[in-house]
A = this chain, B = another copy of it.
Amino acid sequence: MPRLPEVNPVKRMGMASDFDTAMCPVRNVLDHISTKWTPLILLTLQAGPLRFSQLHKQVPDISKRMLTQSLRDLERDGLLSRKVFPTKPPSVEYELTALGASVMLPLGALVDWADKNFEKIKLSRQAFDQDNEAA
C-alpha cells in the first residue's frame, strides 16, 4: 500500500484508463485493514488504550518501525486516536475510536472464523501439498 500521496498509477498510458482503484472501497479500505500488522494492533487495542511501548510488547515480533507506520495509517483513517501526554520523557496513548471499534465487529467475526477453521485449513494444505509431491 502506498504511503501518503495516494496517486492513481495508470500504467498503460493512452489506453483510456480502465478502472479507478481510488474509487473502490474494497481496495482502498481493506488494503489498510488487512495488512500483516493492523488486525493484530486493532485486536490488541480492543481491550483498552495502550501506550506505544505496551503495544510493542503485546504485538509479537513487530518492529518499532512498522508499529509506528501502522499506527500512523490507522490514525489517518480515523480508526484510532493518538494522545500525547507532555510528561518527560513523553508518553503516548493509543485508543480505538468509535469507528475503530465499529470495524472490530466484522473483523472480529473474521478472526473467529479463522480460529474455528484453522484445523480444517491446515488439513487441506497437507492434502494439497501431498498431491503435489509429483515435483
A113 at the interface (CB under 8 A from B): yes
A99 at the interface (CB under 8 A from B): yes
We find that the number of chain A residues with CB closer than 8 angstroms to chain B is 49
Given contacts A109-B109, A121-B77, contact A115 B18 (CB under 8 A): no
A4 at the interface (CB under 8 A from B): yes
What are the nearest 5 A-B pairs in CB distance?
A: A34-B34, A78-B124, A29-B114, A106-B109, A19-B60
Q: Which residues of A contact B (CB under 8 A)?
A: 4, 6, 18-19, 21, 24-31, 33-36, 39-40, 43, 60-61, 75-78, 99, 102-103, 105-107, 109-115, 117-118, 120-121, 123-125, 128-129, 132
